[in-house]
């Protein structure tokens, strides 16, 4: 378990909290050693001075008449041990600080207790080393028990306000960064967001401005590429159509030539369609709640399966998720086509739901030769094919299109050789909205 937060926000708030804690500890120590301590030392010194007066040479502290006259003049009483217990000594609280200081002032082991009466008056009970069998009471109405509750309250208020202020400051500082993060994720998925608001510190504003310029440049490149691809496909289809018309006009004894040309024209049209699919991203389609199992069934039913092709379904109940239906159908069509073309005549389509991880998976498995492990990762790159293992033909854009669509949905696509033979393609999509 990590105690130190990883985000800049958490680290800043933690730093402010630690500094405030140190500040409060120092404030307590400062108040104790430089204000409360010296004050009580001064009080203790005054008390010790009054006690010393009783033991000036010539004064009889055992004489009851002296006790009465001294009480009338100063308010200080002298009790024996028994009378002290009768007059409230047992209710007095022992104070180690006053006892230690008093012992130093009087030059011997003394004991100090304090009794707070109902009228708020403090009565100090002192047993001096000069007369250990007697207790001397000194009333002080201007001294209260040390109470640092107000200091604690004010320090807590200052701490809460400081942390709250730091939280607001860091939140304001991090808001543009969070917006920048979300926008960068969208760009990574092929969606160019509108320009971000340039706010925050000067450094954040500079980074945001640079990001907006980068996003604008990427969008321009995407638009140019789409326009270029559309133009090329349009210009190529026109001569291909003329060639096909001319081919169909060939004499019947040259059907073998026309069939080959028409087959090549159809391959070229398929390649052009793949280029267009790779460029357009299906950005215009809106996401909607969909059961992926329904898309799998639709993809199977929509295919004109040849007699020697067979699709086995192994579907489990899964929740509806937000997807672009046409785009996911294109993923399924490409995976099924690849499995038949490069794998085997029998394939397996399966789906599953991982409730704990909040993900839905669907897989297409063939029973072919598989692909060397060192070539699998490259297959997702445009124009890359597993020619050595599977004798591929075409443009090499099929898996690149699949990966681009899956990335656009925030999911993952994985190819791996099945332990029992064949290739397994798995698409994982999140169920979180």
Checking if the pLDDT of 35 tops 60, the result is no
Where are the domain boundaries for CATH 3.30.565.10 in the chain?
A: 285-430
pLDDT score, position 320: 92
**In this predicted model, what pLDDT tens digit does every residue of 373-397 receive, in sequence order?**
888 877 877 655 554 444 445 556 6
Mean pLDDT across the chain, nearest whole number?
77
Q: Tens digits of per-residue pLDDT, 52-109?
A: 777 765 555 566 676 677 666 667 788 888 888 888 888 888 888 788 888 888 888 8
Cα dist. 387→222, 278, 314, 369, 375 in Å? 30, 21, 30, 12, 10
Residue scoring higher pLDDT (322 or 224): 322
pLDDT tens by residue, 97-126: 788 888 888 888 888 888 877 666 778 888
Region 243-260: what's the mean pLDDT? Answer: 75
For residue 180, the surrounding DSSP H or E stretch is helix 149-188
Which residue did the predictor score with more confidence, 294 or 380?
Answer: 294
Residues 180-280, CATH architecture: Orthogonal Bundle (1.10)
pLDDT of residue 330: 85
Max mean pLDDT among 99-103, 171-175, 300-304 falls in 99-103
CA triple 215-216-222, angle to 5 deg = 85
Parts of the chain belonging to CATH 1.10.287.130: 180-280
**Please, what is the Cα angle at 396 between 390 and 397, to 5 degrees?**
135
User: What average pLDDT does this structure show over 298-319?
Assistant: 83
Q: Give me the mean pLDDT over the 33-42 stretch.
A: 64
| Interstrand relation of 310-314 and 346-354 (parallel, antiparallel or unpaired) | parallel
Has residue 199 got a pLDDT over 60? Answer: yes
Sign of the torsion formed by the C-alpha atoms of 311, 272, 226 and 217 = positive
The per-residue pLDDT for 389 is 41
Q: Topology of 285-430 in CATH?
A: Heat Shock Protein 90 (3.30.565)
Which of left, alpha, beta for 303 (phi over 0: left; psi -120 to 50: alpha)?
Answer: beta
Give the pLDDT mean for 164-189. 78
Distances (CA, A) of 260 to 244, 304, 306: 11, 22, 21
Q: Which residues contact 181 (CB under 8 A, 6 or more apart)?
A: none
Considering only 30-34, 165-169, 406-410, which range has the smallest mean pLDDT?
30-34
- Name the packing angle between helices 37-54 and 96-106 (round to 10°): 50
CA atoms within 13 A on the CB side of 5: 10
Q: How far apart are CA 102 and CA 13, in angstroms?
A: 47
Q: Which span out of 17-21, 76-80, 174-178, 339-343 was modeled with the highest average pLDDT?
A: 339-343
Name the pLDDT band for 36 (thresholds 50, 70, 90): low
Which residue would you say has higher pLDDT here, 16 or 181?
181
């Amino acid at each position: 378990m990590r105690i130190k937060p990883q985000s800049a926000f958490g680290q800043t708030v933690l730093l402010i909290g630690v500094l405030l804690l140190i500040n409060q500890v120092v404030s307590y120590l400062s108040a104790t050693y430089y204000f409360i301590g010296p004050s009580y030392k001064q009080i203790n010194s005054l008390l010790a001075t009054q006690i010393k007066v009783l033991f000036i040479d010539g004064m009889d502290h055992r004489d009851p008449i002296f006790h009465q006259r001294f009480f009338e003049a100063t308010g200080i009483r002298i009790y024996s041990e028994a009378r002290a217990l009768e007059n409230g000594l047992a209710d007095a609280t022992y104070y180690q600080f006053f006892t230690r200081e008093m012992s130093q002032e009087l030059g011997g082991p003394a004991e100090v207790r304090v009794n707070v009466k109902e009228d708020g008056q403090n009565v100090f009970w002192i047993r001096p080393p000069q007369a250990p069998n007697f207790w001397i009471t000194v009333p002080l109405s201007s001294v209260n028990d040390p109470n640092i509750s107000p200091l604690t309250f004010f320090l807590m208020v200052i701490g809460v306000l400081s942390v709250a202020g730091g939280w607001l400051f860091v939140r304001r500082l991090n808001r543009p960064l969070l917006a920048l993060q979300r926008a960068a994720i969208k760009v990574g998925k092929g969606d160019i967001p509108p320009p971000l608001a340039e706010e925050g510190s000067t450094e954040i504003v500079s980074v945001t401005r640079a990001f907006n310029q980068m996003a604008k440049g990427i969008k321009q490149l995407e638009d140019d590429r789409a326009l270029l691809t559309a133009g090329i496909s349009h210009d190529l289809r026109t001569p291909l159509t003329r060639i096909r018309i001319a081919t169909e006009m060939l004499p019947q004894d040259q059907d073998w030539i026309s069939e080959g040309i028409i087959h090549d024209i159809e391959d070229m049209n398929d390649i052009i369609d793949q280029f267009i699919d790779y460029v357009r991203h299906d950005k215009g389609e809106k996401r909607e709640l969909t059961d992926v199992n329904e898309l799998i069934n639709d993809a199977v039913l929509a295919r004109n399966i040849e007699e020697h092709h067979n699709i086995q379904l192994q579907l489990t109940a899964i929740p509806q998720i937000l997807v672009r239906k046409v785009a996911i159908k294109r993923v399924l069509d490409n995976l099924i086509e690849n499995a038949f073309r490069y794998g085997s005549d029998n394939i397996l389509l399966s789906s599953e739901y991982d409730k704990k991880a909040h993900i839905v998976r669907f897989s297409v498995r063939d029973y072919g030769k598989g692909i060397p492990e060192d070539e699998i990762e490259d297959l997702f790159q445009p124009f890359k094919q597993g020619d050595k293992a599977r004798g591929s033909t075409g443009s090499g854009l099929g898996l690149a299109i699949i990966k681009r669509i899956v990335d656009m949905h925030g999911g993952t696509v994985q190819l791996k050789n099945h332990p029992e033979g064949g290739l397994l393609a798995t698409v994982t999509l999140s169920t979180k909205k």
